[in-house]
């Protein structure tokens, strides 16, 4: 009996270990970059549900939030948290609006460097130029089902906030299904996208919070 238990443990442990570590570096980087870039150019709208998991390994805890995400080319975006709190960020033709409970505040994107950075990152992701962004050291990996793009900020100020960003793309449809924002080994946030709808009509009112 104890051998069976040991065998089960070894198999499951090996499986878990391989799941995390089976990404290997991609040799023909340019080809994959081109593939992802070409695909992003075909994206006009994205709708998705998301689950955000804040991992606090040192406290043995995960804080989970859920919400919805809308994107419309070129730079309209709505990021909406529904549980366990209500919080919406919308980006709409040069304005950045935050709705926190019943409070709504509107900002000009150019008034804040952080908003500009977010805006630039979104636009470059969609235009397919993020992988050529010289603000990051970019490395590409793959396993059987996914591509992993690892972005390490070059700017020291940004590394104080985030050590790395990992973007996971499905090989089957080339859509992003997971983003991991790493602050340090024990402290990171994973956002998983589910129920994606690509290039479906999104009404313009979605991006207007007023």
Listed in order, strand segments (DSSP E) in 27-174 are 45-56, 61-72, 76-83, 87-92, 95-100, 103-108, 136-142, 146-153, 164-170
Applying CB under 8 A, does 87 fall inside the site for another protein? yes
Among 11, 24, 63, 204, binds another protein (CB under 8 A): 63
What's the CA gap between 38 and 30, in Å, rounded?
12
Q: Mapping DSSP to helix (H, G, I), strand (E, B) and coil, where does residue 31 land?
A: helix
- Judged by beta carbon, residue 28 or residue 102, the one nearer another protein is 102
Pick left, alpha or beta for residue 101 (phi over 0 → left; psi -120 to 50 → alpha; otherwise beta).
left
Candidates 54, 68, 135, 163; binder of another protein (CB under 8 A) is: 54
Tally Cβ neighbours within 10 Å of residue 149. Answer: 21
Per CB under 8 A, the list member of 117, 143, 183, 192 interacting with another protein is 183
Residue 102 is a binding residue for another protein (CB under 8 A): no
49: contact with another protein by CB under 8 A: no
204 binds another protein (CB under 8 A): no
| Interface segment toward another protein; rule CB under 8 A; list 5-13, 19-27, 49-57, 130-138 | 49-57
d(CA 142, CA 170): 10
Q: Which residues bind another protein (CB under 8 A)?
A: 52, 54, 56, 59, 61, 63, 65, 81, 84-85, 87, 98, 100-101, 105, 157, 160-162, 181, 183, 187, 189
């Amino acid at each position: 009996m104890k051998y069976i238990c040991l065998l089960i443990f070894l198999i499951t442990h090996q499986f878990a270990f391989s799941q995390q570590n089976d990404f290997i570096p991609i040799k023909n980087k340019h080809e994959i970059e081109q593939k992802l870039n070409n695909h992003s150019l075909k994206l006009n709208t994205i709708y998705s549900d998301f689950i955000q998991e804040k991992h606090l390994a040192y406290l043995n805890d995960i804080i989970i939030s859920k919400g919805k995400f809308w994107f419309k080319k070129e730079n309209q975006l709505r990021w909406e948290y529904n549980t366990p709190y209500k919080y919406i960020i919308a980006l709409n033709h040069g304005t950045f609006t935050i709705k926190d409970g019943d409070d709504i505040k509107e900002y000009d994107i150019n008034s804040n460097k952080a908003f500009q950075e977010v805006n630039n990152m979104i636009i470059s992701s969609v235009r397919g130029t993020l992988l050529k962004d010289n603000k990051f050291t970019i490395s590409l990996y793959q396993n059987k089902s996914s591509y992993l793009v690892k972005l390490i900020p070059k700017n020291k100020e940004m590394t104080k906030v985030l050590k790395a960003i990992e973007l996971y793309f499905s090989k089957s449809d080339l859509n992003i299904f997971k983003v991991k924002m790493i602050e340090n080994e024990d402290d990171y946030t994973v956002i998983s996208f589910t129920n994606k709808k690509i290039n479906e009509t999104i009404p313009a009112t979605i991006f207007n919070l007023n």
